[in-house]
Structure 1
Amino acid sequence: MPEPLIRPARPDDEPALARLDRESWSPLHEVRPEPPGPDEPFFHPTCGPDAHQVAEYDGRVVGYVRLGHPTAVPTNAHVLQIRGLAVAEEARGKGAGRALVRAAVAEARRRGARRITLRVLGPNTAARTLYASEGFTVEGVLPGEFHLDGRYVDDVLMGRSLV
């Protein structure tokens, strides 16, 4: 499979992104106890298309990354956070996730951020490996932070400098 096309999300991507969110839901990477419902909007007033980069193969949306501020306080405005990343099953292992992480880093730099951070569940070793290979390091662990799928799992905090 060739490199995916990475582009900013558009309002008309909402149905495809909502479907991808439902289809890719797993307790391995999602803290909500069940997948979002079919009528649940993907975009929200504080998290619209401008917060997302989309991966496409042959004109089909196969992934997204969501970028936002970890807090609303002005003293934290220099930090952006990957607040969601999903890749369709058929596109996994083919470079879409890596391309989306790189797009998030590039977009954070474009917006003037000095740091980029993320949170990932401890058992999600595939994501943790991907992030580490892109320069993210573990900066903290909240042990047993979530009870998912019948077990307690760690919340792993990762980040990297952009300067």
Structure 2
Amino acid sequence: MAQTSNLWIRRSEMKDAGQLMKLDALVWDGRTSPSPIAWTSREQYLQQCPPGSQLVAGIDGLICGYLGFATPSAMASHRHVYELHVAIHPSYRRLGIGSKLMTAMKELAAEEGIRKLCLRVLSTNPCAIAFYESCGFMLQGRLVAEYCIEGQYVDDILMWYPIIG
């Protein structure tokens, strides 16, 4: 089992792109995403996930998870919200890395004047739902039968967390 005593968390950097692309390919599948993520190039990845748009967690030189964040739209009236997505390498799950990333995100959001964190999770991913609930996220809404994945209709669950300022 992996040890997390030397875990570090920081904002993503340009040099992380290769590891983060591999992590996306490993983590995002039909159970965790409406469509698997398959980056066609490093440039495409960096355009969608620029340096600094994720908190990355690592042990020694290996990135074992990340928490991506961005405002949901370009509207000025939406700048107080960060929409999140979290990915943890399967070999490093259930070690508290996701919780540490979420704690770091809540602190960063408060520092940056963000008032609300939100995320979406598929109803077919009960482990992720339980994790988000354990981090204090609450149900905001449910888009019933929003996706058809491998012939099964799947709900899109919307969750949120208030940042008290």
TM-score above 0.5: yes
Q: For 1:77 and 1:35, locate their aligned partners in 2 and report how far apart those are by CA, in whole Å.
A: 26
RMSD (Å), alpha carbons: 1.6
Question: Which residue of 1 is the match for residue 49 of structure 2?
Answer: 47
Q: For 2:148 and 2:56, locate their aligned partners in 1 and report how far apart those are by CA, in whole Å.
A: 30
Q: Shift of residue 28 of structure 1?
A: 1.3
- For 1:101, give the aligned amino acid: M
Q: For 2:25 and 2:83, locate their aligned partners in 1 and report how far apart those are by CA, in whole Å.
A: 22
Question: Which residue of 2 is the match for residue 12 of structure 1?
Answer: 15
- For 1:69, give the aligned amino acid: T
Percent pairwise identity: 30
- For 2:128, give the aligned amino acid: A
Question: Which residue of 1 is the match for residue 150 of structure 2?
Answer: 149
Q: Return structure 1 stretches of 4+ with deviation > 6 angstroms.
A: none
Deviation string for 1:39-66 (max 9, x for gaps)?
363221x631111110101221111111
Q: Shift of residue 110 of structure 1?
A: 1.6
Q: For 1:142 and 1:100, locate their aligned partners in 2 and report how far apart those are by CA, in whole Å.
A: 27
Q: Shift of residue 25 of structure 1?
A: 2.3
Question: Which residue of 2 is the match for residue 65 of structure 1?
Answer: 67
Q: Which of 23, 27, 35 is the equivalent residue of 1:24?
A: 27
Q: Shift of residue 100 of structure 1?
A: 1.7
Once the two structures are overlaid, the 10-residue window that deviates more, 137-146 or 73-82, is 73-82
Partner SS state of residue 52, structure 2: helix
Unaligned runs of 5+ in 2: none
Q: Shift of residue 107 of structure 1?
A: 1.7
Q: TM-score, normalised by structure 2?
A: 0.90
Unaligned runs of 5+ in 1: none
Q: For 1:43 and 1:100, locate their aligned partners in 2 and report how far apart those are by CA, in whole Å.
A: 21
Residues 1-150 of structure 1: pairs in structure 2 closer than 5 A: 1-3=3-5, 4-32=7-35, 34-37=36-39, 39=41, 41-44=44-47, 47-82=49-84, 84-150=85-151
* Contact 2:55–2:67 (Cα < 8 Å) also in 1: yes
* Contact 2:21–2:39 (Cα < 8 Å) also in 1: no
Q: TM-score, normalised by structure 1?
A: 0.91
Q: How many residues align?
A: 160
